[in-house]
Amino acid sequence: MNAPMPDPHLRQARVSAPASVAPAGPRSGPVSWFLRGGWYLFVIVLSLGMLSFVPFVHAALRTRRPLMWLWATLYTAAVVALFLVTGTVDVGGMAIGLTIIAAVHSVVLRRQVWSSAPARSEPATAALGPAGTDPAVAAVLAARARRDEARRLAAADPQMARELRIGRPDLPRDYDDGGLVDLNSAPPHAIANTCGTEIGVAARIADVRAAGVVFATVEDVFSFADVPYPLWDRIRERAVVIAG
C-alpha cells in the first residue's frame, strides 16, 4: 500500500520566516495621533470643560463597554449641574476643576479606546493535545504562521509583496499568505469575504482610499473608516497594509 501523503499544512507550520526579514514598527504622526483620540483633549480644553462629556460618549459608542457609558453619564451630569447653578454661585473654579480632571482622564481614555490588540499568547497549543496531531487545529496554526510570515515580508519588502500578490485573494497567485487581505488595494468584496465583515464596512474602507488616504497600519483603518469596535480583532487577524 502507498504511504499516506503528508499534510501540506503541517509542513507549512514548520517553515520559519527568513532571519533577514524583521517586522516594521507602527508609524505614527500628529495626524494619526489626533484622529486616534488626540482630539479628545482639544475638545475638553477648548470648551473649558463644557463639552467634556463628548469624548466619553464617543468612547462609549465605539467600545460598547458599560464602564464607558458610566463615565459618559457622569460627565454629562457634571456639565448639566454647572449650567443649573450658573448665576447662583461662581462656577469658574468648578469649570476649571472639571476641565483638568476630564483632560487627564481623556489621556487614559484614549489608550483604552485606541489600544492595539494584546499580544497573542499560545492558547491553541493546549488544544493540540499531547501528540499535537489534530488536523483542524494544525491547519489553523499553519495558516496563522503563514499570515505572520507574509506580514513580515510585506513590511520588509513591499515591492516583493505586491509581486507575490500578498493580500489579494481576488487575483491569481502562487504564494500562500495564509488568508490575508490588503486594505490598501483589495476590492470591497475581497475585504468583506476575508475579514468576515458586512460589505458596507468594506465599502467604507474603499471610500476612504478613494479619497486619497493610504493606510500606514491596520489600526489607521479603524479611525479613518470608523469601523465598529466589535470588528477590530477580526480585521486585525486577517488584514495587512502594503505601502505604495
User: Does the predicted model carry a pTM greater than 0.85?
Assistant: no
pLDDT digits (tens, 9 = 90+) for 196-241: 999 999 999 999 999 988 888 888 888 888 888 889 899 999 999 9
Q: Give which of 125, 116, 117, 130 is closest to 145, Cα–Cα.
A: 125
Residues 6+ apart with CB under 8 A from 84: none
pLDDT digits (tens, 9 = 90+) for 44-101: 889 888 898 898 888 888 877 777 888 889 898 888 888 887 766 677 778 888 888 8
- pLDDT above 70 covers a percentage of the chain that reads 79
pLDDT digits (tens, 9 = 90+) for 155-190: 999 999 999 999 999 999 999 999 999 999 999 999
Count of residues in the chain: 244
Instruction: Indicate the domain borders of the chain.
Output: 30-114, 133-240
- pLDDT score at 179: 95
> Is the confidence at residue 18, as pLDDT, over 50?
no
